[in-house]
Amino acid sequence: MQPAKRLQNLPPYVFARLGKRIRKLQSEGKDIIRLDIGAPDMPPADFIIEALNRSAKDPSKHSYAGYTGTPQLRSALAQYYKNRFDVDLNPDDEVLPLIGSKEGIANMALAYLDPGDLALVPDPGYPTYRMGARLAGAETYHMPLLPENDFLPDLDAIPDDVADRARLMWISYPNNPTGAVATLEFFEKALDFARRHDILLCHDAPYVDVTYDGYKAPSLLQVPGAKEVAVEFNSLSKSYNMAGWRVGAILGNSQAVQALLQVKSNIDSGIFLPIQEAAVVALTGDQSWLADRNAIYQKRRDMILETLKEVGIEARKPQATLYIWAKVPEGYTSEEFANEWLEGIGVSVTPGSAFGDYGEGFVRISVGQHTEKIEQALERIRSWKPSR
């Protein structure tokens, strides 16, 4: 009995492999401080948790939740986009709640890619863009995100024959893993490229509300006509500290939204109703706590950047996301450097090569760890002695 052949080209998820290795080190008595995973370390606001608790106590809220999300959640998501971006969305066919945006990203490949089709994916980029295409039997073309281009893809460098074969194109700003941001002018260019080549443009935007220094991230859907060729994936995981709750959404082009619904309705049975009701409260309730949360992240960012500078490691100051994209010292590969910190000082960071070939030479450091733990990690980094 052999697994499907498609798994032969599908490596285990990078953080699943890293987590297994860290558990082994911990079982050997080693204290590991994890600055690798981009998960919020703080809980949602109390009023969101209280809404979940109230709803979960209602015996009628434990049945199947339906495939399309509740009308209340779809409307709350549409209202959020109106309030936050001045974007009008029809809750009935342009908004679809997801069990976290990750499953929607993977399932989008099943909705739009046949074997032999092509997806344009950023490199470095979130691994699920590539893995979803592989599961669908499709090919990927990697768009390099280079420091000299502010980690934006050079759309003009994509060969016409490649662009004409492509069915999907993925972009993500604020960007994971680089922390880079994009302007509306770049989004306009990406949308024009998608129109010219008959491509569905997918923008993964879970970090639009995790921002620093007064920066306000735009939505792709703010560009006039964006819904003609594009969708945006959003998530409450990062914006509202609800990573484990698994609630996100796809918004935009109605044909693409309905295609994803067709896949999902054959795979899952929707989001737990109390989570949907709490998500409505998160989206429509007091938003002031997010600024306080971001101030904590910003303080951690600045602490890490200062320490990296002290030990001679270059890193750009991100305006958004949970990540610092740091340059590996000369003489190391990304994995060698990450291993040296993991084995030598007990600090886990993610090698940039985990996000693609063009991530080589960098590591990703997350601010999603308790401040006290980050302080301990920084003490260890200051004591680190390079082996080469």
- How confident is the model over 310-323, as a mean pLDDT? 97
pLDDT at 38 over 70: yes
Global confidence as pTM:
0.95
Q: Of the ranges 27-31, 93-97, 211-215, 288-292, which one carries the lowest mean pLDDT score?
A: 27-31
Residues 318 and 249 grouped into a single domain: no
Going by pLDDT thresholds of 50, 70 and 90, the confidence category of residue 21 is confident
pLDDT for residue 13: 64
- How do residues 112-156 score in pLDDT, each as one tens digit? 999 999 999 999 999 999 999 999 999 999 999 999 999 999 999
Q: What distances in angstroms separate CA 351 from CA 68, 125, 320, one per listed residue?
A: 37, 12, 20
- Average pLDDT over all residues of the chain: 95
Nearest partner of 324 among 258, 267, 277, 381, judged by Cα: 381
pLDDT at 12 over 80: no
pLDDT for residue 23: 87
**Residue environment code for 84-122, b if the CB has 16+ CB neighbours within 10 A, otherwise e:** bbebebebeebbbbbbbbbbbbbbbbbbbbeeebbbbbb
> Does any domain span residue 324?
yes
Residues 207 and 84 grouped into a single domain: yes
Q: Which CATH number fits the domain that encloses residue 108?
A: 3.40.640.10
> Does any domain span residue 192?
yes
Residues 124 and 73 grouped into a single domain: yes
> Does any domain span residue 53?
no
pLDDT at 7 over 70: yes
Alpha helices in the chain (DSSP H): 14-27, 46-56, 71-85, 101-112, 127-135, 160-165, 184-197, 236-239, 254-264, 273-284, 288-310, 334-345, 371-383
CB atoms within 10 A of CB 315: 18
> Does any domain span residue 388?
no
pLDDT above 70 covers a percentage of the chain that reads 99
> Does any domain span residue 55?
no
Residues 127 and 224 grouped into a single domain: yes
Q: How many domains does the chain have?
A: 2
> Does any domain span residue 57?
no
pLDDT for residue 93: 96
Contact 221/204 with Cβ under 8 angstroms? no
